[in-house]
Amino acid sequence: MKDRVCGKKKKNPSEPTLKPFFEVEVTLNNGQIQLSPEIDQIQEAIDKAALAMLKCSKDVYNWGQSHLEEEDRESFYKMIARDKEIVKVILLLTGSIQGTKNEVENKLREIKAWEHY
């Protein structure tokens, strides 16, 4: 999933091509390079999606608890919060765009070097 979010290149030509989750349009407007949507907007959307998934798990309870009062039931949220692999994936996703953002900023600096020519 992280490879699709970050748009990683294939290491091996035989690997299947992954369609990215987001497409960004790059335009030149009055000498300024603009991205649409902006990278920060993409990161915000990923963060909101991760938060929404976590929040909805608070209302989904483990099987076999119907005989318990609602306040005594254990939700999937507690299980998810304790699972190190799930927490790791959520942290990777919420920080996934930072590497791409750094690459874009480097490319923009390279392009600006040619601005005066």
Rounded Cα distance, 93 and 71, in Å: 31
For residues 53, 59, 65 and 67, what is the CA-based torsion angle, rounded to 10 degrees?
-170
| Assigned domain for 64 exists | yes
Rounded Cα distance, 67 and 20, in Å: 44
Q: How far is CA 56 from CA 47, 61, 72, 76, in A?
A: 14, 11, 18, 9
66 in helix, strand or coil? coil
| Model confidence at 41: pLDDT above 60 | yes
| Assigned domain for 89 exists | yes
Q: How many domains does the chain have?
A: 1
Task: Provide the residue range defining the domain that includes 61.
Answer: 2-112
Q: In the chain, pLDDT over 70 holds for what percent of residues?
A: 85
Q: In the chain, pLDDT over 90 holds for what percent of residues?
A: 0
Q: Does this model's pTM top 0.85?
A: no
77 in helix, strand or coil? helix
pLDDT tens-digit series, residues 51-108: 888 888 888 888 888 899 888 888 888 888 888 888 888 887 777 777 778 888 888 7
Helix H or strand E encompassing 86: helix 84-94
| Assigned domain for 117 exists | no
pLDDT tens-digit series, residues 96-117: 777 778 888 888 788 777 766 5
User: In 3D, which of 101, 110, 107, 112 has the Cα closest to residue 39?
Assistant: 101
| Assigned domain for 74 exists | yes
